[in-house]
Amino acid sequence: MVVRWWRVHIRRTVKNLGVKVMNKKTVTDLVSGLFLFCLMGVAHSTVLYVDAAPNVYGSPAYAPWWEAAKTAASTGTFVNMANSNNTENIGTTYFEIEDAVVYSFGDLGSRMHFIYWLPGETTDSLAGRFQIALDYVWDGVTYDFYDDYYGARWQTPTSWSNYDGGVIGTAGIAWWGAYGINTQAALDAELAEWNQYQGDFIFHVRLDGVEESITAHHHVPEPATLVLLVLGLLGLGFGKRSKR
């Protein structure tokens, strides 16, 4: 179906441009060449997804989630936010505060994970060509997580691997709830407070100097004291757990 669409599209384009087609073989060769060119372009682009995942630091549910995520991303069947705490977010890039908070008890919480899939590449072929970045945005202000956490905006991934004819990786981010307290009551109180002020996460990739991004959205009410909250969270090393 894709090849047929391209043949029709190219024929119409050639006709509209006033190009005289000498024979059917000429058109076929032109279509085949352009179709292969388009496939090469797709093969060397980055496909981005987002989901809420079990806590990679200790949850036994993380490994099965990651295996399923790799298969879905590489086959084009990945569903964004399929594991959100709110089923209404499935198929979107919206998330709940519960999707982005980990803790040190119970089920260990959930972390937002951005998945990147680069078909036709290897980690060796991407050396020096591919980097990632992560921002937090609230009320028009952008906070650069990697610059704050690692000292530079653009980072070479560490959580990536060769997989099924391409490269796949993930970058996670979460707040750390009930830190040092580890009680459900403390966690519930923090979730209720943070839910009022949670902003958006934007994950960026850069391949051969070309940038792409995906945004995980969270509904934000009118700002009140979030500036102080965010600055406090970003200023404390234990306020967030990042994995790249």
Q: What is the pLDDT of residue 219?
A: 65
75 and 96: one domain? yes
104 and 20: one domain? no
Q: What is the pLDDT of residue 197?
A: 86
pLDDT digits (tens, 9 = 90+) for 34-84: 333 333 344 458 999 999 999 999 999 999 999 999 999 999 999 999 999
Q: What is the pLDDT of residue 63?
A: 98
Which residue type sits at 130?
A: F
233 and 113: one domain? yes
Kindly indicate the confidence band of residue 22, based on its pLDDT and cuts at 50, 70 and 90.
very low
Tell me which residue range forms the domain holding 24: 2-41
pLDDT at 18 > cutoff 80: no
Kindly indicate the confidence band of residue 95, based on its pLDDT and cuts at 50, 70 and 90.
very high
Kindly indicate the confidence band of residue 229, based on its pLDDT and cuts at 50, 70 and 90.
very low
Q: What is the pLDDT of residue 5?
A: 27
17 and 130: one domain? no
154 and 209: one domain? yes
pLDDT at 114 > cutoff 70: yes
222 and 120: one domain? yes
9 and 97: one domain? no
pLDDT at 12 > cutoff 70: no
Q: What is the pLDDT of residue 244?
A: 72
pLDDT at 237 > cutoff 60: no
**Total number of domains constituting the chain:** 2
29 and 143: one domain? no
88 and 14: one domain? no
How confident is the prediction for the chain on average, in pLDDT? 81
Q: What is the pLDDT of residue 1?
A: 33
Kindly indicate the confidence band of residue 139, based on its pLDDT and cuts at 50, 70 and 90.
confident
pLDDT at 171 > cutoff 50: yes
10 and 92: one domain? no
- For residues 129-138, one letter each, b for 16 or more C-beta atoms within 10 angstroms of the residue's C-beta and e for the rest, the string is ebbbbbbbbb
132 and 32: one domain? no
Kindly indicate the confidence band of residue 196, based on its pLDDT and cuts at 50, 70 and 90.
confident
27 and 57: one domain? no
